Homo-oligomer: A and B are copies of this chain.
Amino acid sequence: MAAKNIFYAQSGGVTAVINATACGVIESARRERRLGKVLAGRNGIIGALREELIDTSLETPTTIAGLKFTPSGAFGSCRYKLKTIEENRAEYRRLVDVFRAHDIGYFFYNGGGDSQDTAHKVSQISVELGFPITCIGIPKTVDNDLPLTDNCPGFGSVAKYVAISTMEAGFDVASMAESSTKVFVLEVMGRHGGWIAAAAGLAQGNRNEPPHVILFPEIAFDKRKFLKKVKETVARVGYCVIVASEGAQYKDGTFVADAGMKDAFGHTQLGGVAPTLVDLIKQAYGYKCHWSVADYLQRAARHIASATDVEQAYAVGKAAVEFALAGKNAVMPIIVRQKGKRYRWKIGEAPLNRVANVERKMPRSYISTDGYGITKSCKNYLSPLIEGEDTPPYKHGLPQYVRPKNKLVRKVLPAFKV
């Protein structure tokens, strides 16, 4: 049997370490004579549908090794959700055509919840369309909301960025508070879950240290209680540092960010829970406030990635290759936390049908009673995930991130509209 090629695609929002997973896949596959080339989808699954396949065998070992310290999705990612085979048979037939034309026997899909759903659907091709393909989902999401795995590659690094940024901004506000800024608000990602905001809590040594208030999507925003907490904190500590999930919301599900800001034309302003909170605080108390929206900076900050996260991201890529060779199908490697006081982890596996479309929320026991902080058990969970620094190489003061050539394999099929 000729060695089959692997199709690998990056999907959904990218992270500081998804390329470390790509590195794990490609380096492991290159060592295996039983495997052919790794063909990466240009812009994820869209690349498979358009027959835009990047031939990673043309990249040097140095470039591939460099992926381990390069943020973002080196082959391009996408936000594109396949319908079911019943709803869009043409798309699945196209995938089979492309896979067959390029001798692809393995489908590796690297993404979050939606992506694992896609991977699961593709795994049904074998049965539904009679084309043999081995499907492995590979976990990736800054949101840390995949089930079964202890944590998600990508999360540890954003958590580290948020904890450090909160700590650093906290030091800044502390030194300015006497005659200037009294309140600082940092807005972080997390539309549905508070995992990222929770990580800010790692910066707090004792209750007088920042962050003084964390806003989670899981806890209904109560304006009066919040303002009271801010005032009480300023009175007690001299200043107040707030970290807010972009998904912070009122009891009725209205996002705090959507509550009122309008542009000159009367349109509701886009996002911005941080400026909205600052507006509330200024109107209530007149404090001088500063605010920051971390947005893409937080998930792209490879310069301050967690070494643990990088290692795990690489490991799930490597495991995907091992699973495929072991004949496993429709599974996803997961991170399993070992019992014991010292943090140790290993790779486990989960069936895709149990991963797809399940969203893991923060347990209530991880959030403090008043709803504005994290508990000791949450700290114990989060702390090992940000452990260790994995510094990229620098030249002239800048990280030397790599840009693969991304040369496409010659197309042999007619065009297909995506």
Among B14, B178, B282, B397, which residue has its beta carbon within 8 angstroms of that of A172? B14
For the complex, is A119 an interface residue (Cβ under 8 Å from B)?
A: no
B residues near A70, Cβ cutoff 8 Å: 171
Interface residues in A45-73 (C-beta closer than 8 Å to B): 46, 70-73
For the complex, is A1 an interface residue (Cβ under 8 Å from B)?
A: no
A156 (CB) vs chain B CBs: closest residue: B397
B residues near A293, Cβ cutoff 8 Å: 274, 291-293
A261 CA / B275 CA spacing, docked (Å): 11
B residues near A270, Cβ cutoff 8 Å: 275, 278-279, 282, 289
For the complex, is A165 an interface residue (Cβ under 8 Å from B)?
A: yes
B residues near A169, Cβ cutoff 8 Å: 295-297, 300
A397 CA / B164 CA spacing, docked (Å): 9
A301 CA / B166 CA spacing, docked (Å): 10
For the complex, is A132 an interface residue (Cβ under 8 Å from B)?
A: no
Among B13, B176, B265, B308, which residue has its beta carbon within 8 angstroms of that of A176? B13
The verdict on A180 contacting B78 (CB below 8 Å), with A263-B260, A269-B279, A383-B397 known, is yes
B residues near A301, Cβ cutoff 8 Å: 165, 168
Among B16, B76, B259, B391, which residue has its beta carbon within 8 angstroms of that of A178? B76
A278 (CB) vs chain B CBs: closest residue: B270
Give A150 Cβ to nearest chain B Cβ, in Å.
17
For the complex, is A354 an interface residue (Cβ under 8 Å from B)?
A: no
The verdict on A387 contacting B396 (CB below 8 Å), with A79-B180, A261-B264 known, is yes
Interface residues in A1-45 (C-beta closer than 8 Å to B): 10, 13-14, 16, 43-44
User: Judging by beta carbons under 8 Å apart, are B290 and A295 in contact?
Assistant: yes
User: Judging by beta carbons under 8 Å apart, are A303 and B269 in contact?
Assistant: no
> A387-410: contact bitstring with B at CB < 8 Å (1 yes, 0 no)?
111010010111101000000000
Give A252 Cβ to nearest chain B Cβ, in Å.
16
A398 CA / B202 CA spacing, docked (Å): 9
Interface residues in A233-285 (C-beta closer than 8 Å to B): 259-265, 267, 269-272, 274-275, 278-279, 282-283
User: Judging by beta carbons under 8 Å apart, are A387 and B397 in contact?
Assistant: yes
A291 (CB) vs chain B CBs: closest residue: B295
For the complex, is A378 an interface residue (Cβ under 8 Å from B)?
A: no
B residues near A184, Cβ cutoff 8 Å: 295-296
A71 CA / B296 CA spacing, docked (Å): 23
For the complex, is A121 an interface residue (Cβ under 8 Å from B)?
A: no
Among B176, B290, B386, which residue has its beta carbon within 8 angstroms of that of A397? B386
The verdict on A168 contacting B269 (CB below 8 Å), with A10-B175, A77-B176 known, is no
B residues near A186, Cβ cutoff 8 Å: 297
Assuming A186-B297, A262-B263, what are 13 further A-B pairs, CB within 8 angstroms?
A14-B175, A16-B168, A71-B172, A72-B174, A75-B175, A79-B180, A168-B303, A168-B399, A171-B300, A172-B299, A259-B264, A272-B272, A388-B397
Can you list 10 pairs linking A and B with CB atoms under 8 Å apart?
A: A43-B179, A76-B178, A79-B176, A79-B179, A165-B297, A172-B300, A261-B261, A274-B293, A290-B296, A389-B394
